[in-house]
Amino acid sequence: MQLFYAPDITPPIYTLNEEESKHCIKVLRLGVGDTLHVTDGKGNMHLCRVMTADARHCTIEIVSTEEEFEKMPYELTMAVAPTKNIERFEWFLEKATEVGVTRFVPIVCDHSERRIIKHDRELRVITSAVKQSLKAYHPALDELTPLRKLIAEPFDGAKFIAHCDSSFDEKGFERAYLPLIIKKNEKLMILIGPEGDFSPEEINFALENGFRPISLGQQRLRTETAAVVATVMAAVCNSL
């Protein structure tokens, strides 16, 4: 199954953009009458047939549509500080998209070593992962957001912050192991800090705003690894 992404697709006839048309006709060598799948990233999986085999303007006809294709039973927002080496952050975006995420929020923290990202580039990484993993839902990607701004925004769901500062355990804010406290089919937000972890002030602010401190296990994890582990934990807890 070869998946194409067209967020503005509407039935019954649609023309792929030049990039997707070239991939369809020149790379895959599809011709008139051949079939392909196209998603709008909103849950619709369209089975289509090639009408015009033009490498610049390939026209397709929507034959059938499966709505809410493989929809996740939960919603997951991953708010993660981009790593100094942007390729590590992009690896996280790719793998988390494959596992299942609703929304990505790149965050700027007190200890952040990276305070600039190329939004369009990261969006392309996510789109490529959507197509490769045959997803019908395209995760949203927020602009780079200050952590305190995100924490202060309303969120109708369970909110967690993963940090490594053991001094908060001694103050009565013991970190719970994430798989033991996730409830199935709920809306989640998980905060993952930068290489230097969240600052004590940031942790305090999160706790004051309803975030629950969590642990991802005994291992010391890099930012991008911790983010993928948390994503997988949420997926596993919702599949049991």
Q: What is the CATH number of domain 3-66?
A: 2.40.240.20
**pLDDT, average across residues 48-67:** 96
Tell me whether strands 59-66 and 13-15 are parallel, antiparallel or unpaired.
antiparallel
Q: In what order do the strands lie in the sheet with 13-15?
A: 3-5, 35-39, 45-52, 59-66, 13-15
Helix (H) or strand (E) holding 140: strand 140-141
pLDDT of residue 230: 98
pLDDT of residue 2: 87
Q: What is the CATH number of domain 75-237?
A: 3.40.1280.10
**pLDDT, average across residues 144-155:** 98
**Percent of the chain scoring above 90 in pLDDT:** 95
pLDDT of 49 over the 90 cut = yes
pLDDT of residue 1: 82
Which pLDDT band, with edges at 50, 70 and 90, does 33 fall under?
very high
CA 112 to chain centre: 20
Which pLDDT band, with edges at 50, 70 and 90, does 240 fall under?
confident
Q: What is the mean pLDDT of the chain?
A: 96
168/157 Cα distance (integer angstroms): 23
**pLDDT, average across residues 216-220:** 92
pLDDT of residue 109: 98
pLDDT of 68 over the 90 cut = yes
Which pLDDT band, with edges at 50, 70 and 90, does 171 fall under?
confident
Which pLDDT band, with edges at 50, 70 and 90, does 170 fall under?
confident
Closest listed residue to residue 103, CA positions, set 204, 187, 217: 187
Same fold for the domain at 3-66 and the one at 75-237? no
pLDDT tens digits, 157-168? 999 999 999 999
Domain ranges of the chain: 3-66, 75-237
At residue 117, what is the residue type?
I
pLDDT of residue 121: 98
pLDDT tens digits, 69-92? 999 999 999 999 999 999 999 999
pTM: 0.95
